[in-house]
Structure 1
Amino acid sequence: MSPRRARGTVGPLAVLALVLTLFAASPALAASYRYWSFWQGAGGNWGYATEGPSTARPADGATLGFRFSVSKDAGAEAAKPRAAADFDAVCGATAAAEGKKRVALVIDFGMPGDAPAGEAPPQEGPRTACAQVAPDATAAEALASVAKPLRYNGAALLCAVSGYPRSGCGEPLADGAEPKASASAPASAAPSPGGGSGPSAGLVAGVAAVAALGAAAVWQSRRRRR
């Protein structure tokens, strides 16, 4: 193999090795998170919400769930509320009111092991409440009507429900270590439009960056072999 061809082969391999190293070492890709996840009920089951509570506008008769836990990012890996997604069980005794919609809420403060250092869940089991709100109210507004105070961060991520936890908001937990509390918006701050339901945005961005680097390495290898 000529020296020129050797250089053309080693370069892309080195880039790929660096990509794999960054992928394995990145805490944003490998860490767990302690946060409030947002769920929507359908057919008695929970499905991870595809948008944040500040933009989701549930219909009359909807069932929403919120669960605080330590979870691997978001989606199927996140811990679901520990009560069934049953609208009738929560709102069956609440009469419909003109000009209002009923939204069943299941609020699960999680297990003691999920609590930040020095804190404990406000109650052991999930709390349920039937919110009666305006027809165009968001999920965040329905939650605020029954579980104040709420706290959000600058990216509209839900940080606290009924004041729990007192600080922190979705920090990555590396090897079970306690994260440093980050500054968050005050309890009275309203979520901005488009807020997400979990820290998955950082994970998606990391994966996209890694994929882009990998694609560049492959393109460089093919170009030099021509």
Structure 2
Amino acid sequence: MTRRLTVLFLAALLPLLAGAGQAQAAGYRYWSFWERDGSAWTYATVGPSLSRPADGDVVGFRFSVSEDSGDAAKPRGEAGFDAICAKTPAKDGTKRVALVLDFGTPADAPSGERPPAARTACAQVAEDASTAEALASVAEPLRYDGNALLCAIAGYPAKGCGEQVAEGGKEPASGTASGTEEAAAEDDGGSGPSVGLIAGAAVVVVLGAAAVWQVRRRA
């Protein structure tokens, strides 16, 4: 009977543990940096401050929630260099870099913010300028964190920087709660068990009590 009771407890507990695993962070909210080769976007292997695009290159930035570079959303739009820089004539001592700025979707936006419409820009900068310098010439204000991570382009988003987000993409998984989310975290002590987990534990207790009652009834 004791063994059967243990099995009943485990059967009730396993779905709760699985649910707890699914509630872990879905990814990070950040600006990803891309380089265009023909019609294909490739995730950049270096940061924009180290990248040195050539005259005629197309680079892109996309704001989204993703786990890593493998599932990061690419910039949208088909415009190439000729279309983006059509009104910017070549000039000695400079280079032209076409930029695609995709501010993402409302689903990826931080709470309380709405993404601006995607746009393109042609940066005419010094021949040795970095992608970061080209971006700064057409999309200020930019915002960086203490580790030189690009946090905002053209002032979007107004706050936050590469924060970890929970399933669904809206609430920070840890350490970055704000507004009503921060208040909720304070209510439960910040690191205490979630309401769902407490409710689940209650279900286990009830099932366990039912199992004990069955054992005693048959005895």
> Could you tell me the TM-score, scaled by structure 1's length?
0.64
Compare CA radii of gyration and give the structure with the larger one.
2
Confirm or deny that 1:98 pairs with 2:96. Answer: no
SS of alignment partner, residue 167 of structure 2 = helix
- Equivalence for 2:171: 178
- Equivalence for 2:140: 148
- Aligned pair count? 154
Q: Distance in 1 between matches of 2:147 and 2:79?
A: 28
- Equivalence for 1:36: 31
Equivalent residues in 2 for 1:31-180 (5 A)?
31-74=26-69, 76-84=70-78, 86-123=80-117, 126-176=118-168, 177-179=170-172, 180=175
SS of alignment partner, residue 58 of structure 2 = strand
SS of alignment partner, residue 96 of structure 2 = strand
**Could you report, residue by residue, the CA deviation over 1:112-154 in whole angstroms, capped at 9, with x for unpaired residues?**
111100000122xx20000000001000000000000000111
Counterpart contact for 1:64–1:85, Cα < 8 Å: no
SS of alignment partner, residue 175 of structure 1 = coil
Q: Distance in 1 between matches of 2:35 and 2:79?
A: 8
Q: Distance in 2 between matches of 1:157 and 1:69?
A: 15
SS of alignment partner, residue 63 of structure 2 = strand
| Stretches of structure 1 lacking an aligned partner (at least 5 in a row) | 1-23, 183-226
**Cα offset, 1:31, TM superposition:** 3.5
Q: Distance in 2 between matches of 1:46 and 1:164?
A: 22
**Cα offset, 1:85, TM superposition:** 5.9
| Stretches of structure 2 lacking an aligned partner (at least 5 in a row) | 1-20, 178-219
User: CA RMSD for the aligned pairs?
Assistant: 2.0
SS of alignment partner, residue 145 of structure 1 = helix
Q: What amino acid is the match of 1:72?
A: E
**Cα offset, 1:84, TM superposition:** 2.5
Q: Distance in 2 between matches of 1:85 and 1:63?
A: 10
